[in-house]
Amino acid sequence: MSDSTIAPPGGRSGALPLFARKAGRLIASVLVTFVGLLFVTFLIGRVVPVDPVLAVVGDRASQSTYDAAYIELGLDKPLYQQFWIYLSNALTGDLGTSMLTKKNITEDIARVFPATLELATAGIILGTLFGIPLGVLSAVHQARLLDQIVRVVGLVGYSAPIFWLGLLGLLVFYAKLGIVAGPGRIDIAYEYSVTQKTGLLLVDTAMQGQWDAFRNVLAHLALPASLLGYFSMAYISRMTRSFMLAELAQEYVTTARVKGVAEWRIIWIHALRNAAVPLVTVVALSYANLLEGSVLTETVFAWPGLGQYLTNSLQNADMNAVLGGTLVIGVIFVGLNLLSDLLYTLLDPRVRRRA
């Protein structure tokens, strides 16, 4: 048999089945996770002490009306049939009807989610831009004054209650100094002059050339985004410091120093490039936390996003909306975890060789 008939282990013919197997495992994992998430939210909806029928018909409805709604909601069926109906509806994008707004929950979430997306994106950009450099400097100056300052700042960031920091920020920067705008996304003077095409007000105002409205939106966004940025910066800087300390202790760093490579090049190019691989997961999870964990921030700043929507739904016992929002948050986590895994594979060739 000639050598030409033998495919090399790392050749193209072996790579395709390998990629197919990995893609299949990944898709199966995502599907199982998604079904498990649906099952958990379904069970939560069945064990909470809220009668979904009364939420629909009210507590003054007659028994016949109650019974008709009970059957219409499918509550007379066995649990496995109820779950199958819930699963089928969710897969088609039907998360039910909100008892508070009387609208489809999918439409409600599509309306409020851009506000949360804009706030969380601004927060993670700030957190990453400041967190990674501070973490690197903290690792380089380990046990020195700069390291202690960064660690104390980080400790305050992930231990202080975020609603307290928000109220303090409003008191100082809005009420006292007047350098930022108050609660809300935009002043009422500009609200009805902006056509919301994407739901991202910074993008919409810039696309329409309404620069006064753009500056107003930016003034409203500055404080809550900075607060979330500080929160994420604390976590990102701490993890960056840990990863950099591990990388700076590696033999390739010692070898580079012996060869006379510039210290800045060793730190910011070689060590940071290797530390950036696990940092992808850290940043992705931080972003997911901001997307789902900004409930208190949105409440303090009257930010009309997903967090405030869930808060209002909880206060009004609108469990359909709460479960729909919870499901969306779970999908966000699964999606960002999937994205971080893919980026991890692209950035680290060792992962591709082990796959």
Phi, psi at 60, each rounded to 5° = -105, 5
**Cα(121)–Cα(221) distance, integer angstroms:** 11
**Cα(294)–Cα(124) distance, integer angstroms:** 12
Tell how far CA 230 is from the center of its chain.
15
pLDDT of residue 61: 77
**Cα(244)–Cα(272) distance, integer angstroms:** 7
Strand partners, 104: 97
Cα-based distances in Å from 83 to 43, 71, 134, 307: 9, 15, 48, 26
Cα angle at 290 between 33 and 217, to 5 degrees?
Answer: 135
pLDDT of residue 9: 47
Cα-based distances in Å from 313 to 57, 117, 290, 324: 17, 19, 20, 11
Length of the chain: 355
**Cα(303)–Cα(120) distance, integer angstroms:** 12
**Cα(278)–Cα(282) distance, integer angstroms:** 7
pLDDT of residue 59: 72
The DSSP annotation for 223-245 comes to HHHHHHHHHHHHHHHHHHHHHHH
Indicate the class that CATH gives domain 112-248+276-354.
mainly alpha
pLDDT of residue 268: 92
**Cα(37)–Cα(45) distance, integer angstroms:** 12
Among 95, 78, 81, CA closest to 38: 95
Do residues 287 and 120 touch, judged by C-beta distance below 8 A?
yes
Token pair belonging to 351? 């992962």
pLDDT of residue 100: 78
pLDDT of residue 3: 46
**Cα(164)–Cα(170) distance, integer angstroms:** 10
pLDDT of residue 130: 95
What does pTM read for this prediction? Answer: 0.82
Going from N- to C-terminal start, the domains of the chain cover 12-79, 112-248+276-354
Cα-based distances in Å from 240 to 103, 208, 263: 44, 39, 18
pLDDT of residue 79: 82
pLDDT tens digits, one per residue of 192-201: 888 888 999 9
Regions of the chain short of the pLDDT cut 50: 1-15
pLDDT tens digits, one per residue of 209-253: 999 999 999 999 999 999 999 999 999 999 999 999 999 999 999
Do residues 67 and 23 touch, judged by C-beta distance below 8 A?
no
- Give the dihedral sign, CA 240/243/246/248: negative
